[in-house]
Chain A
Amino acid sequence: EAGVAQSPRYKIIEKRQSVAFWCNPISGHATLYWYQQILGQGPKLLIQFQNNGVVDDSQLPKDRFSAERLKGVDSTLKIQPAKLEDSAVYLCASSQRRGGSHTGELFFGEGSRLTVL
């Protein structure tokens, strides 16, 4: 079974430029997540999709970050304009929605490392 695919793996940009990250979740997984992981910290949830609808985006800095999941499969996360503090690894994860009150196991991609100069 193919895992979660992310691209690019690495990106270096200057502040105020824009960047986009792409994610392809595991086939059949309805729930997709974008996490931001700053060096030395745990992943922080930015946005969560259920199919192509947003479940939670309370931690997404909406003045500069946007995300979409067209057709309930692939997703893109965009940052415009980037700030120095956006330097981090952006992790995409997916999960199968199960019955009950929790998401179950999250499957992560290898992440996209962003450096903002």
Chain B
Amino acid sequence: GESVGLHLPTLSVQEGDNSIINCAYSNSASDYFIWYKQESGKGPQFIIDIRSNMDKRQGQRVTVLLNKTVKHLSLQIAATQPGDSAVYFCAENTGGFKTIFGAGTRLFVKA
């Protein structure tokens, strides 16, 4: 069935360190993946996306890696800052233009 999950519910990192948030997906037909950031009291906000014909995509301080062989997605945040503290969701786009969200990982950044 369709499901997107995360390996760790919480992640605590020191300010300035790099963060890695992992995600597993089960629908091998999914061809588009997105990472969203959700701050308290707000809606999810787009961070970065990747299509299934790519295995890596970089943005500003963020990199998404896609391993289709093991159906795994990761978000790397370089030089993590206090403002990065939030819940991060991976989401997959399945056939029919349906976006399915995972359960989320809460990132704590220690000053």
Contact = CB atoms under 8 A, between A and B. Distances in A.
Contact of A111 (B43, B49, B93, B101): B43
Nearest to A41: B103
A104 B50 CA distance: 10
A35 B100 CA distance: 10
* Interface range on chain A (Cβ under 8 Å from partner): 20 to 34
A42 B102 contact: yes
A4 B42 CA distance: 12
A105 B95 contact: no
Contacts of B99: 33, 45, 103, 106
Contact of B103 (A42, A105, A106, A110): A42
Contacts of A101: 31-32, 93, 95, 97
Nearest to A9: B41
Q: Give the most central of A44, A93, A101, A110: most B CB within 10 Å.
A: A101
22 contacts: A4-B43, A42-B104, A45-B99, A55-B97, A56-B96, A56-B98, A91-B44, A101-B95, A101-B97, A102-B93, A103-B32, A103-B97, A105-B34, A105-B49, A106-B36, A106-B99, A109-B43, A110-B41, A110-B42, A110-B43, A111-B42, A111-B43
